[in-house]
Amino acid sequence: MISAPDVVAFTKEDEYEEEPYNEPALPEEYSVPLFPFASQGANPWSKLSGAKFSRDFILISEFSEQVGPQPLLTIPNDTKVFGTFDLNYFSLRIMSVDYQASFVGHPPGSAYPKLNFVEDSKVVLGDSKEGAFAYVHHLTLYDLEARGFVRPFCMAYISADQHKIMQQFQELSAEFSKASECLKTGNRKAFAGELEKKLKDLDYTRTVLHMETEIQKKANDKGFYSSQAIEKANELASVEKSIIEHQDLLKQIRSYPRRKSKGSDLCSRETEYTQDRPSQAATTSDPEESADTDRYTCRPAYTPKLIKAKSTKCFDKKLKTLEELCDTDYFTQTLAQLSHIERMFRGDLCYLLTSQIDRALLKQQHVTNFLFEDFAEADDRAVVRQESAPAEPSQDRPPSRSLEKCPIPQVLISMGSYRSSVESVLIKMEQELGDEEYKEVEGTESGSFDPQDNLDCLDMDMKGSISSGESIEVLGTEKATSVLSKSDSLGSLTVPLSPQVVRSKAVSHRTISEDSIEVLSTCPSEALIPDDFKASYPSAINEEESYADDGKGAIHFQVGTSPPEPGEAEEGSVENTPLQTDASCCIGKETGGPQGPLSSPALTLSDEEGVVSTPPQRSRQKDQGFHVDFAMENSNLSSRDHSSEGFPAYELDPSHLLASQDDSKTSLDDYSDSTSCVSSVASTSSDRMPSSAHPTGPSSERHKKRAGQNALKFIRQYPFAHPAIYSLLSGRTLVVLGEEEAMVRKLVTALSIFVPNYGCCAKPVKHWVSSPLHISDFQKWKLIGLQRAVSPAGTGALHALSRYSRYTSVLDLDRKTLRCPLYRGTLVPRLADRRTHIRRGSTYYMHVQSVLAQLCAKAFLYTFCHHLHLPTRGREAEAAAASRQASFLQLSLGLVNEDVKVVQYLAELLRLHYTQEHPGAIQPTLRFDYVPSFLYKI
Amino acid sequence: MLRWLIGGGREPQGLAEKSPLQTIGEEQTQNPYTELLVLKAHHDIVRFLVQLDDYRFASAGDDGIVVVWNAQTGEKLLELNGHTQKITAIITLPSLEACEEKNQLILTASADRTVIISLNPEPSEIAMVTKGPVWDCDTGRQVQKVSCFQSTVKCLAVLRRLDVWLSGGNDLCMWNRKLDLLCKTSHLSDTGISALIEIPKNCVVAAVGKELIIFRLVAPTEGSLGWDILEVKRLLDHQDNILSLVNVNDLSFVTGSHVGELIIWDILDWTVQACEHNFWDPSPQLDTQQEIKLCQKPNDVSIHHFTWDEENIFVAVGRGLYVYNLQMKRVIACQKTAHDSSVLHVAKLPNRQLISCSEDGSVRIWELREKQQLAAEPVPTGFFNMWGFGRVNKQASHPVKKQQENAILFSLELIGDLIGHSSSVEMFLYFEDHGLVTCSADHLIILWKNGERESGLRSLKLFQKLEENGDLYLAV
């Protein structure tokens, strides 16, 4: 119990107090073991090496009254995903911790069976032997034929990374609640329908029995009842009773508390996903009511059956399947939601967290974020957030408090938690340690994140439980979180180093015995938990919650993976749909694309690069977390020799670190890179509706990655990339002229990452035009792909281009020339360094984003500095303000030469955006300068 | 001074070679128009722009619709539909001081032989106008329509003093504000009245073909019953059709004809004060002989438009621009080929700048500068015509003025050009505060703005909004 956490606590304090460079080597007994799978060639980020499944998946299980716990389905529904993982065994595990008070039946003092509308329970389970950790969402569905009318189900998000589960608990909980609500709503509908049928049956039976009794009465008028008649009368009585019972049940199910019918909101949202179905759930605000109304109208054809007196026992018959238990529409929606969840949480935890933080920070930049951010995503997030607000009451804080949730602590905390996640895994594995390698890493230690280490109280907890071998731990549940977070959140959020948090380390450990099931707390049915149990770990819970609340900052960030493609809902399987939607022309290629490299080449690569061999040491792991990209780049460098185009899928995306991304999809991306057919397909679709909103494609990771890759190529290939990018950044339309459509489109897509947006609508990019350009085109588009044609129309186009040469820069792809104004600034070289060491598209994309974010910050400062634009005292000459502006731009913002124009252009866009009442309503004016252009050649 | 293709790699435009057209490179430091806004509403050539007040203007063209715009924001305020054919004249009828209604009326004449008088309410009043003889449900405005014309009305004139307006077609009609026909002349000519201006003593001058006809309008008095129009005099000094007619000051009015005759008339006794008719002198280069056949169109010397200030008349002659000084009675500066093709409209800005627009789709900004004595060039207008064009004989009848003795003191320097339209720029309007509006045969209207000033205005607006939202914290 004590050993492991203590070691860590010690090492941590050590690190906290001392400079990392001066730190003496630890005594051997305290040294932390190496990553155990290093010998097998796995990389340290791949925690899957311990698990038997290849990536995260969702499992739906049932505690069947006939056969016990059994798995029903997995999402994605692909045996490759869970591999040899024993679903049956795991179902047993997760179904054995159902804490909900799903008491249905005859409660004492009640004449009729009573339905309890129980809340779902949400627990986190760990099975360290299987290497599987799960967020488990228990729910109860009603089934008339089931014992007590209830069928316990659970949906589990299973991951090999326990920290992912813990840190994403709130998000998982929110998302699964939606799915569960949807499922339950559908189930109630189905149940009510079933009850009605049953009532009709009973009614019919009663009539029949009644008639029979009458006949019997008439038949024997002897004055006494035969045993047969008595039996009939009893039967009739029981039918009567049954009718009353069932009516009561029907009444209960219909009187399902309205407050809980937020499921209908969900369903309306989910119909957005499913798209193919204009669901009635979306239109009817209350599914129950609609069910009530159409029940009698829609199903008049039901012919009642006679019900036998002795009802069949449940063991004799087949139980309803999950699909039968639920209304079909709702069932497909639930599946869609589940696959959405699967996609949402796909990838490495650090990746998820980073993107969440990223988005949360971006959201705060609401004044500037429209410039370069992807708005399809942002909108998606906005929608999600709106919905999540009611679901998470604890988030509804008064504005004043939300001010305190400044972004910095969130970031720090999340960093810390990521670090810790690596750490705990290490401790779990008792292997030998390569000391010299450890020192190597020490040299690279930056030490700048030390303070956050103190926030790892949860971590201790993990360590305590890890040692217990075959155990299932319930590590956290929802309700306690929400209750306690309120008390502790502020302290821990704003003061990352508060003593309270540091102290917490000591108390947050628990012993977990072999094969024990431990429950910290459960959500609604607290009554089930013994009081002494609740009392026994108050501080542990407390701290845990304060921690969880730190993570809860991250709850605001909704993971916005690209919105699901249409048609996905029907598929129910995530695996297939991306391929179908993406690659209408690449499918042939995709089949040839190796699915294998995930395992073999990637592993060897990382071996030879020594990425893995850097020992994951104590607090150093956080460095690794940050160096992931660069390390991977290095490996790319070496791998470029033998495969320049087709990198193993494994390396190409940070989100692949866990290899839980869809392999086939990745390989598709990379292998299609050389032909660029995907991008052209995507952009064609976007082109059809010139000013319409983003198609789903461009916002995806894949798209960004490809754009980044092509932009990198462009920068390397063309020495005059800088003035071209300057043109884009300063709002001068860049016309990419070429004969070959695919090439032009590819380059336009790549360069579009540098184009500032006007507003929330699509980027002002036109991928392909063949008609002559007009002045209004330059007002509307900032990047245009133009066809060079020999036809008269083509010469017309060229003539128009030369006529409007002052508004455009022209990049001629065929002649490899660029005509545009001179650029002498320093900004673009940083953005687009020809000799950059960045090799990967996604990395470069991120690099661009970060430089542009900096730029936006400068533009923001410039725009909103009062004294720069308004006369400071009384009447002041305009020249004074102008000189103030110039000196601010040059001295304070460090801009030279043409960089000033970039910031000024962005500032214009900011002003326009800010002052517009209806964003996007007014087109921005076309701004231009009368500056000479130069012709650049390779 | 010529900035020949400063942009290094710029492909020379073919036009630059074949005529001594002055061009300016891409570097135009004095050109203030660094922002533009394209306004789209018309479906055909936009021919007319008329200013309504400080910030509004109306545009009209061959599609028969009139659109009212906000010159500041480029917002489309109103669209007036009513004409079935192209609009041939548009004029505003200012509201009477006595009248309570401050609304302006817009008079439009169209090839469908109707004149529509439409109320142009203040934006705030659009919703309040509720009654009128003719109701236009689309825009909520009163519209009155006169359709008793025998011919297309080609010009309109408003006589504020008499509170009447005149329409000129094949005949001249006089109307009052209520659209009652007050008086009408007999049929004048089949070509019709091409221009109409008011001159003192209740007279109007109408340009009918080569003639100028002076009419006197007789207002009703005790003696007479009604209005009358009397033809007073016909002036026959022009050799060809009169294209333009303006009164430049209290003393004189000016006419310009198709063959490049500029005649300055005394406004009171209608006599010729001065005459200038040798604008069409081709450039002295002999090798232009071939070019003349190719690109010099018959209307190359036609005078399309004038503008004037206290001292000078600025004349658009064919492709060139000429500055005629009223005191010196001679051309003091010129640009023979200011544009690639006919200059359609010129305007003088307060800051000694001249703007011209042309069929070649460009708008050019010129500055009238005092020229260094040393750099003085001989005046081309003084050159005697060397080629025997058909009009030489007309020319010969006039004594050639000897102007060489006075070296030219002024020159027109190109300081910027505005390229945006893809077709002939028909007209433009200058707003002191909001920049320049151009309309063109490419169906577009472009609003050219001073980018720096607009940027400052936006900045101001931003801080205003910040203040409104309470987000502005001023450091103490």
The C-alpha torsion from A319 through A321 and A324 to A327, rounded to 10°, is 130
Instruction: Give whole-number Cα distances, B70 to A247, A300, B57, B58, B73, in Å.
Output: 69, 64, 7, 9, 6
Report whether A56 contacts A135 (CB < 8 A). no
Name the pLDDT band for B446 (thresholds 50, 70, 90).
Answer: very high
The more confidently predicted of residues A793 and A454 is: A793
Report whether A272 contacts A182 (CB < 8 A). no
The C-alpha of A814 sits at a distance from chain B's nearest C-alpha, in angstroms, of 17
User: How far apart (Å, rounded) are the C-alpha atoms in residues A863 and A511?
Assistant: 58
> Is residue B354 scored above 50 in pLDDT?
yes
Give the pLDDT score at A818: 92
Largest CA-CA distance found in chain A, in angstroms, rounded: 121
Q: Which residues of B touch A733 (CB under 8 A)?
A: none
- List pLDDT tens digits, range A688-734: 333 333 333 345 677 888 888 899 989 988 888 999 999 999 989 99
Which tokens is A435 given? 């000391």
Which tokens is B51 given? 């200013």
Place of tokens 């064009």: B389
Name the helix (H) or strand (E) containing B121: none
> Which candidate in A780, A925, A933, A934 is best for mutational testing of the B interface (most B CBs within 10 A)?
A925
- List pLDDT tens digits, range A419-455: 333 333 333 333 344 444 444 444 333 333 333 333 3
- The alpha carbon of A192 is separated from its chain's Cα centroid by a whole number of angstroms, namely 35
Crossing angle of helices A407-428/A538-556, nearest 10°? 120
Instruction: Give whole-number Cα distances, A449 to A168, A352, A446, A463, in Å.
Output: 22, 19, 8, 22
N- to C-terminal Cα distance for chain B?
51
In this structure, the strands spanning A472-474 and A517-519 are parallel
Complete domains list, chain B, with CATH: 278-419 (2.40.10.480)
The C-alpha of B222 sits at a distance from chain A's nearest C-alpha, in angstroms, of 59
- The alpha carbon of A526 is separated from its chain's Cα centroid by a whole number of angstroms, namely 30
Report whether B324 contacts B388 (CB < 8 A). no
Inspect the interface and report whether the beta carbons of A775 and B465 lie closer than 8 Å. no
- List pLDDT tens digits, range A852-864: 888 888 898 888 8
Inspect the interface and report whether the beta carbons of B455 and A904 lie closer than 8 Å. yes
The more confidently predicted of residues A817 and A160 is: A817
> Which candidate in A366, A727, A775 is best for mutational testing of the B interface (most B CBs within 10 A)?
A775
DSSP A395: G
Name the pLDDT band for B309 (thresholds 50, 70, 90).
Answer: confident
Give the pLDDT score at B142: 54
Which residue on chain A is closest to B6 by alpha carbon? A932
Inspect the interface and report whether the beta carbons of B419 and A802 lie closer than 8 Å. no
Interface membership of B400 toward A (CB under 8 Å): no
Q: Which amino acid is at B102?
A: K
Report whether A651 contacts A639 (CB < 8 A). yes
The C-alpha torsion from A742 through A747 and A749 to A754, rounded to 10°, is -170
Largest CA-CA distance found in chain B, in angstroms, rounded: 81
The C-alpha of A496 sits at a distance from chain B's nearest C-alpha, in angstroms, of 29
In this structure, the strands spanning A808-812 and A733-738 are parallel
Interface membership of B416 toward A (CB under 8 Å): yes
* A window 833-892, beta carbon within 8 A of B: 863-864, 866, 869-870, 878
Name the pLDDT band for A294 (thresholds 50, 70, 90).
Answer: very low
Strands (E), B326-371: 330-335, 343-348, 353-358, 362-370
> Is residue A1 scored above 50 in pLDDT?
no
Report whether A769 contacts A816 (CB < 8 A). no
Name the least confident of A37-46, A506-515, A699-708, B177-186.
Answer: A506-515
Give the pLDDT score at A213: 82
Place of tokens 């049940």: A249
User: How far apart (Å, rounded) are the C-alpha atoms in residues A621 and A444?
Assistant: 11
Name the least confident of A164-168, A228-232, A781-785, B237-241.
Answer: A228-232
Interface membership of A805 toward B (CB under 8 Å): yes
Please name the member of B29, B75, B458 whose beta carbon is closest to the beta carbon of A912. B458
Report whether B79 contacts B118 (CB < 8 A). no
Instruction: Give whole-number Cα distances, A388 to A172, A173, A391, B134, in Å.
Output: 12, 11, 5, 56
Interface membership of B22 toward A (CB under 8 Å): no
Does the interface predicted TM-score (ipTM) exceed 0.85? Answer: no
> Is residue A418 scored above 70 in pLDDT?
no
Give the pLDDT score at B439: 92
> Is residue B438 scored above 90 in pLDDT?
yes
Which tokens is A926 given? 């076309």
Which residue on chain A is closest to B473 by alpha carbon? A866
Report whether B207 contacts B255 (CB < 8 A). yes
Which tokens is A552 given? 């809860």
User: How far apart (Å, rounded) are the C-alpha atoms in residues A121 and A98?
Assistant: 8
The more confidently predicted of residues B173 and A410 is: B173
* Rounded (5°) CA angle A747-A752-A757: 165
Q: Select the highest-mean-pLDDT range: A103-112, A604-613, B441-450.
A: B441-450
Interface membership of B392 toward A (CB under 8 Å): no
Question: Torsions phi, psi of B450, nearest 5?
Answer: -80, 110
DSSP B272: E
Which residue on chain A is closest to B453 by alpha carbon? A878
The more confidently predicted of residues B85 and A49 is: B85
Which residue on chain B is closest to A917 by alpha carbon? B465
Which tokens is A511 given? 């012993």
Per-residue pLDDT, averaged over A137-150, amounts to 84
* B window 73-102, beta carbon within 8 A of A: 73-75
> Which candidate in B4, B26, B450 is best for mutational testing of the A interface (most A CBs within 10 A)?
B26
- pTM of the predicted structure, to 2 decimals: 0.63
Q: Which residues of B touch A922 (CB under 8 A)?
A: 73-75
Q: Which residues of A touch B73 (CB under 8 A)?
A: 922
User: The sheet that has B104-110: what strands, in order across it?
Assistant: B87-93, B104-110, B115-120, B141-146, B135-136
